[in-house]
Amino acid sequence: MNIMIITGASRGIGAATARLAVARGYAVCLNYRAQADAAHQLARELTDSGGRAITVQADVSIEADVLRMFETVDRELGRVTALINNAGMLESQMPVTSMSAERIARVFNINVIGPFLCAREAVKRMSTRRGGQGGSIVNVSSMAARLGSPNEYVDYAAAKGAIDTLTVGLAKEVAAEGIRVNAVRPGLIYTDMHASGGEPGRIERLKDSVPLKRGGQPEEVANAILWLASNEASYTTGTFIDVSGGR
């Protein structure tokens, strides 16, 4: 059975990815940090539809939590075959001159250290050199890595730039072990994350700057994630799909 871990799966892109993954036959681990009700409700929805889903609370920036999450999946589902590094966060919009060291550390802990730790544990289980059957890692980056998010989230953009580098470097490192590593870079997507930055209507303000003249839906990103995770992308590694409306 194909077994997928989705970090930050309680809402937005993560939840859309979980629904599509179950529809395509994956058993899924829905990771969440704080939104337990949403994660459990999604798990019930997926199991009621005939799928297999478990929820695991874990803060991916904490090593012990990541270890516990992977051990839980080992025990309850089996050895992971696909990891979706989706968990992420941003803080209030501000220029770099107003950012504290504590804020920058929080952003990098979740957006960079978390994916590194999860990728490390996934590789240990997927690697054909370690007795695994291979697998796929898909990192959820952001167009911010290319655009920089000036006056808003340069720290978040820089963290996603680190994820782009992780994608390229790890892909080369583990290609001979049966593991593919790719990333999607969403653009302006209708999710709750914009409210976290203090501007729930950010997409409406900016959508006219997108060549397609609209914001994207989480399901549109999920489709790209599932393609990269699947055998249809068997000769694709170390690469990116920009789901950004041409921006």
Strands (E) located in the chain: 3-6, 27-32, 52-57, 82-85, 135-140, 179-186, 240-243
Where residue 166 falls among pLDDT bands split at 50, 70, 90? very high
**Whether pLDDT at 195 is above 70:** no
**Taking Cα atoms as reference points, which of 143, 144, 125, 137 lies closest to residue 172?**
137
Distance between CA atoms of residues 173 and 127, nearest Å: 11
**Whether pLDDT at 183 is above 80:** yes
Catalytic residue among 26, 32, 153, 156: 156
Judge whether 153 counts as a catalytic residue: no
pLDDT tens-digit series, residues 10-23? 999 999 999 999 99
Tokens of 78: 């089996």
Q: Supply the mean pLDDT for the chain.
A: 95
Q: Are strands 135-140 and 3-6 parallel, antiparallel or unpaired?
A: unpaired
**Taking Cα atoms as reference points, which of 121, 119, 132, 202 lies closest to residue 163?**
119
pLDDT tens-digit series, residues 62-116? 999 999 999 999 999 999 999 999 999 999 999 999 999 999 999 999 999 999 9
**Taking Cα atoms as reference points, which of 168, 13, 182, 16 lies closest to residue 83?**
182
Q: Is the dihedral of CA 70, 75, 79, 83 positive or negative?
A: negative
Res 1: pLDDT: 83
Enumerate the domain spans of the chain. Answer: 3-243
CA distances from 211 to 24, 30, 157, 208 (A): 31, 34, 21, 7
**Whether pLDDT at 142 is above 70:** yes
Where residue 3 falls among pLDDT bands split at 50, 70, 90? very high
Task: Indicate the residue type of 195.
Answer: A
**Taking Cα atoms as reference points, which of 181, 191, 180 lies closest to residue 216?**
191
Task: Say which CATH architecture domain 3-243 belongs to.
Answer: 3-Layer(aba) Sandwich (3.40)
In the chain, pLDDT over 70 holds for what percent of residues?
97
